[in-house]
Amino acid sequence: MRSARRQDGARRHLRAVRGEVRGLPVAAGLRPLRPAARGQRASGRHSGRPAQAHLRRDPRPGGLPAAGAVQAHEGRPAQYAGAAAIVCALFVLALNWGGYAGAVWLAWGPGFVLLTLFVSCFLVQSPRALVHGIMCKRYGGQVSGIGLGLLYYVMPALYCDWGEIIWIADKTRRRWAIFSGIYYQLLIWACGMIGWGLTTPGSEANAIWLSVSFGAGMGLLLFGANPLVQMDGYLLLVSFVEVPRLRERSLAILGSWCTRRPLPEILTRRERRWFLLYGSLTFIYAFAHLGVVLGMFWNQLTPLYEGAGAMVTIFAAFYLAHKPIASGLARLPPLRRLFARNTGWRGWVARLTLAGALVAAGFIRVDYETGGEFRLLPSHRAEVRSDIESMVEQVLVREGQWVEAGQPIATLSVRSHQRDLETARGELEKAQAELRLAKQGARPEEIGRVLAAVKKAETSAAWSQPRAERYTRMYQDGLISQNDYEIALRQRDMDAARLRGSLADLNLAESGPRREQIQALEARIRGLKALADNYATDVERTTLVSPIAGRVVTPRVEGIRGTYLTPGLRDRVMEIEDARTLHADIEVNEEEIAGVRPGAPVRLAAWTDPGAPFDGRVLSIAPVAAPTASAATVATVTEDSADVATLRIPGLPYRFVRVLSEVPNPDGRLKTEMTGYAKIPTGKRPLWDVLYRPIARWLRVKVWYLIP
């Protein structure tokens, strides 16, 4: 048995060596010469000036007109100009990396992807194939065919069979011919970057240049210059390491090594390590690329087109992986026996049984769950604010500290408020004293003094009145002068006025204060008392207390010391929340909300610890769907303090309904503002309904109005 294995290994080694010899570029010299015409000297493929010779005698595509364009670019000035354009594009990208990434993010969508694919097909893929063919002809290779085909069976594109480029004997020319496609794609990317940098952001021209640069650049990084993909980068790698069929051999060796089968060829330990490394990288990149493409299909098409988008994603997955899936299934012995042609009636029975089992499995009832992204919120949250104008004098707590309701957490400066309080209290005491004085009325001493004044005024009036009468008769008789007569009259009038004033003062002293005066004093006292109470409350409010029992969540709360607080402008001191019980705000798609009921159990998994899910219960369901779910945002692009463009950023492509659930958190493992995904069971449904529910829903809603 060992000898048979050795012979089998030797035969595989000889076949591998024979394949390597056939694949080496030097084997071009072993190919048979074409018969020379009569009268001509027989020559090899690469004798003389091969490019010019083939252009003269070969009527197939890739002749003089196209070759002349490439040859014109072979001059030094054109090469320098192309290199300068690439360097300039690199500078544009380096200086505007953030703006470029933001523009791609804003423009990303199905329309931008389709535009990028269209531009990549007609400006990158088709001309690059022609460039390869022209360079192959220039350096002595043959172009066996050129025509129009379908890229990925969908998009029309030019193809050029330049496979004989590997038979160019000169290594330098062969590598330059292979690199010509990368160089052309770099030039297209450079033109797109420069055009994007020179056009106005948000314009149609800017969007087209953005798609050109993005399509050419990403195509170059992911495919063209990538040595893990069978394109230009891979051919350059094979040309440098001189290992033919590197990809096929590496994957075959990796598969044999993983399945513990004998290697398909004899290798040294060093060669085996390098083949395994390249095969592993190729395999990982292929699966990662497949996952990214399918993820893009799902994220872009399913939210917008729902069931149709899901169908397109499924078909794309089968299309991208149909070859390995079909080949893997075909190698399974049960399937080979099941679908063999010579099985007879037993084979048909087995096939019908399998089909019936699949149909029956579709009616198995399974638990169906809906859900969506969630955000954890505290059950109680309070912001401690200051409603007085003052400076923070002392902070009594720190971040993360647990505080009880009513516990002092900070103190404010009390000097100005204490001064205002003392002033208001002094004015109040003064007004109260004036009120008491007014209510008590005049004192007996004051009344006695007024009575004495009245008596004195009566005595003077009693003397001056008869005297004035005597002077009047004497003046009429001509016994006195007119001056003496007038003096007597004046004295009478003055004494009478003094008597009336004394009597009025006596009435005022005996009657007491007026009611209006008392009311005015009382109103003033009430105002001063309210002002004093307000100042007293301000003094009390200089000590801030916690309104709830919870934990201080304001970061670096100690740094607020010395901050001047102004109500309405800067009055927030800290935030306290009680996270012993959390509320999970779940965004459930409106299509799935019908099966959600209050009280239903909820299973949540946070991004911080997805391996330890936690349970909750639905508390309430929002009465309306989110009104801004499908709204769009308008953003203005500014440059040098001037508005240069307006962009319309689409919002969420679907509406969601907020579902609030309660989650116990006794150990404090969960933190507020954590996010994750929640599942809410909605009952049992058949398996086929679970698998095809998006498609069936789309058909029922979108096609329903067409049904009569």
Find the helix packing angle between 269-305 and 246-258, rounded to 10°.
90
Indicate the DSSP class of residue 32. P
**Per-residue confidence (pLDDT) for residue 404, from 0 to 100:** 92
Would you list the DSSP string of 660-690?
EEEEE-TT--S-TT-EEEEEEEEEEEEHHHH
Helix or strand or coil: residue 597?
A: coil
Pairing of strands 656-664, 614-621: antiparallel
Residues 6+ apart with CB under 8 A from 355: none
Position 221, amino acid: L
Q: Which domains does the chain have, with CATH numbers?
A: 49-241 (no CATH), 326-363 (no CATH), 371-381+572-706 (2.40.30.170), 413-541 (no CATH)
Kindly state the tokens that stand for 232: 């230009």
Pairing of strands 601-606, 675-686: antiparallel
Rounded Cα distance between 106 and 373, Å, is 23
* Neighbouring C-beta atoms of residue 33, cutoff 10 Å: 10
C-alpha distances out from residue 91 to 79, 206, 262, Å: 19, 18, 52
Rounded Cα distance between 510 and 451, Å, is 10
Kindly state the tokens that stand for 108: 């990303």
Q: Are 307 and 698 in contact (CB under 8 A)?
A: yes
Indicate the DSSP class of residue 635. E
**Per-residue confidence (pLDDT) for residue 408, from 0 to 100:** 92
Rounded Cα distance between 636 and 118, Å, is 28
**What's the residue count for the chain?**
708
Position 388, amino acid: I
Residue with tokens 């005597």: 470
**Per-residue confidence (pLDDT) for residue 302, from 0 to 100:** 67
Provide the phi-psi class of 353: left if phi over 0, else alpha when psi is between -120 and 50, else beta.
alpha
**Per-residue confidence (pLDDT) for residue 37, from 0 to 100:** 38
Provide the phi-psi class of 18: left if phi over 0, else alpha when psi is between -120 and 50, else beta.
alpha
Kindly state the tokens that stand for 332: 């399974």
Rounded Cα distance between 444 and 509, Å, is 9
Rounded Cα distance between 609 and 326, Å, is 38
C-alpha distances out from residue 549 to 111, 382, 579, 663, Å: 52, 10, 10, 18
What distance separates the 2 farthest-apart alpha carbons in the chain?
186
C-alpha distances out from residue 356 to 121, 686, 687, Å: 45, 16, 15
Provide the phi-psi class of 55: left if phi over 0, else alpha when psi is between -120 and 50, else beta.
alpha
**Per-residue confidence (pLDDT) for residue 653, from 0 to 100:** 52
Residues of the chain with pLDDT under 70: 1-76, 110, 149-155, 163-164, 300-309, 322, 338-339, 343, 440-447, 508-513, 627-654, 694-695, 698, 702-708
Rounded Cα distance between 92 and 426, Å, is 74
Provide the phi-psi class of 446: left if phi over 0, else alpha when psi is between -120 and 50, else beta.
alpha
Residue with tokens 């965004």: 587
> What is the Cα Rg of the chain in Å?
50
**Per-residue confidence (pLDDT) for residue 602, from 0 to 100:** 92
Residue with tokens 């205002």: 420
CA angle in degrees (0–180, nearest 5) for 306-312-318:
140
Helix or strand or coil: residue 708?
A: coil
Kindly state the tokens that stand for 677: 């995904």
Kindly state the tokens that stand for 684: 């049992």
Rounded Cα distance between 110 and 301, Å, is 8
Kindly state the tokens that stand for 71: 């040859």
Rounded Cα distance between 45 and 137, Å, is 12
Nearest partner of 82 among 205, 180, 150, 199, judged by Cα: 180
Q: Are 390 and 542 in contact (CB under 8 A)?
A: yes
| Residue 482 burial (10 A CB sphere; 0-12, 13-18, 19+) | exposed
Residue with tokens 């116990």: 664
